[in-house]
Every structure is written in structure tokens, then in C-alpha cells.
Amino acid sequence: MVLCGSGLDGGSFAHIPEALRNDEELCWLGVLCDGNNLQWASPDWRDNRDLVMCAVQQDGAAFQYASARLQSDRDIALRALQNTEEAAAWIPEELMATADFQRLIAVHQKNLEEWEE
């Protein structure tokens, strides 16, 4: 079976017909190739905890495509933020105010300062 070489990486999942965006195997294949393919999955799949966790483990920015319910999931939000500070834009304020999230933001800021030096 050809996986990511099938052309489903780099956003080409957008060209999959709407009728197929609820297909379990296709959704998993798309997300395994590129976490941001989550945006093209059906709403049901964007509310699937395992699929969303897989997507944000690859690319924290995929968090923006998760359902509202899963954007409030502490573990998923934390994993997304671990991968990229960019995820903070979509994490609910009540989660961002907690110590775990504030520590991660501080780490990202420190890393940015060190990189700029």
C-alpha cells in the first residue's frame, strides 16, 4: 500500500470529493501524511479524539481544525502547544490561563529569544 506518496500530502486532500471525506481509511491516510489534512475531513472526523491527536502530534497548527469540543480537550491542546506556539491562538482562554500552558508559553518565548541571539 502506498501511503504518503499517494498524493494526499501537502493539502491535496482538499481535492477529495465531499462524499469521501467521511471515509475512515481515507481520513487516517490523509492525516498520517500531513496533520493539516484534518481540515478537509468531515465534521465527524474532526471530532474524533484519536484522529485529532494524531494530527496535532504531527503539526500543532492542525489544532485549529479540531471540533470545538476537542479544542477544549486539555491533552490535545497541550500536545498542540508543545509542537507549536501558533496553537495558542485557538486554545480556549481558560486552558491558556493554567500553569501547564503558561509554562509552555514561557519555554517557547525563551527558545525564541535564544534563537534570535
How many other CB atoms sit within 10 Å of the CB of residue 67?
A: 16
Q: Would you list the domain boundaries of the chain? A: 4-116
Residue 42's region, left for phi above 0, alpha for psi from -120 to 50, else beta, is beta
Quickly state the pLDDT bin for 7 (edges 50, 70, 90). low
Q: Residue 1: pLDDT above 50?
A: no
Report which of 2, 64, 74 is spatially closest to residue 33, judged by C-alpha positions: 2
Average pLDDT, the chain: 87
Across 53-70, average pLDDT: 97
What are the φ/ψ torsions at residue 3 (nearest 5 degrees)? -100, -100
Tell me the whole-structure pTM to 2 decimals.
0.83
What are the φ/ψ torsions at residue 97 (nearest 5 degrees)? -80, -10
90 grid coordinates: 485557538
**First-to-final CA distance of the chain:** 46
10 grid coordinates: 501537502
What's the pLDDT at 11? 54
